Structure 1
Amino acid sequence: MPSIYDILAEQRIADALRRGEFDNLPGAGKPLVFDDELFVSPEQRMANKVMRNAGFSPPEIGLRKAIAKLRAEIAGLDESERRSALRRRLAMLIVQLGEISRSGR
């Protein structure tokens, strides 16, 4: 059963909608942006948000970007010594990412 506060809040929201107070708000008509951290605890999600706002990112983010970049570069190369070197580097980055994931850093 809703409390009196829930009922009052819903009533005030409905009144504001009728008066058009929610029209022309910043971001109106644009999709909402949600953090894609569904499997992260709320505490860790908050810590990640603080870090992001301060311009920092966890090490695994940098590794994932480097892995994606190397994969794209490797895909565009024919078999060569350079491709082999890049594949070794890619394997090393994947191992590092796995170590970070296992350690929970």
Structure 2
Amino acid sequence: MATIFDILAERRIADAVEQGDLDNLPGSGRPLDLDDDLLVSPEQRMVNRVLKNAGFTPREILLRKEISALRQEIEATPPGERRAALRRELMLLLVQVSGKG
């Protein structure tokens, strides 16, 4: 059930669209960036988005990017000592992301 505030907000947004006030916003006409991790709670995604917009990247996000890059490197590395070292590094990062490190 919509509240009076919901109705007023929707009306103001519709008026702004109709008057063209939202036509020249940054990112207008480009697809939305939907790279959010679906396994992260909506609240944490919102916090991450606010921090990202402020120019701050949470440690978990940096670790996840490192993990992704490391997995690609492992796949491209032939079996041997180097690949084993990369796997150990990957395990350490996974422990850190899980919060047990």
TM (norm. structure 1) is: 0.61
Distance 1:60 1:4, change over 3 A: closer
Q: CA deviation at 1:40?
A: 1.9
Q: Kindly indicate whether the alpha-carbon contact (under 8 Å) linking 2:48 and 2:58 is maintained by their aligned counterparts in 1.
A: no
| Residue of structure 2 aligned with 1:53, choices 35, 52, 55 | 55
Corresponding residue for residue 24 of structure 1: 24
The unaligned stretches of length 5 or more in structure 2 are none
Identity of aligned pairs, percent?
Answer: 31
Corresponding residue for residue 92 of structure 2: 96
* More contact order relative to length (CA 8 Å, sep ≥ 6): 1
Corresponding residue for residue 68 of structure 1: 72
Matches of 1:13 and 1:55, distance apart in 2: 31
Q: CA deviation at 1:46?
A: 2.3
Deviations 1:11-36 (A, max 9, x none): 22222222111212221110111342
Matches of 2:31 and 2:45, distance apart in 1: 25
Residue 89 of structure 1 aligns to which amino acid in structure 2?
A
Matches of 2:15 and 2:34, distance apart in 1: 28
Q: CA deviation at 1:5?
A: 1.9
Q: CA deviation at 1:103?
A: 4.3
Residue 50 of structure 1 aligns to which amino acid in structure 2?
L
Distance 1:45 1:64, change over 3 A: farther
Q: Kindly indicate whether the alpha-carbon contact (under 8 Å) linking 2:74 and 2:86 is maintained by their aligned counterparts in 1.
A: yes
The unaligned stretches of length 5 or more in structure 1 are 78-82
Q: CA deviation at 1:56?
A: 6.1
Distance 1:32 1:97, change over 3 A: same
Q: Kindly indicate whether the alpha-carbon contact (under 8 Å) linking 1:48 and 1:57 is maintained by their aligned counterparts in 2.
A: no
Q: CA deviation at 1:65?
A: 2.1
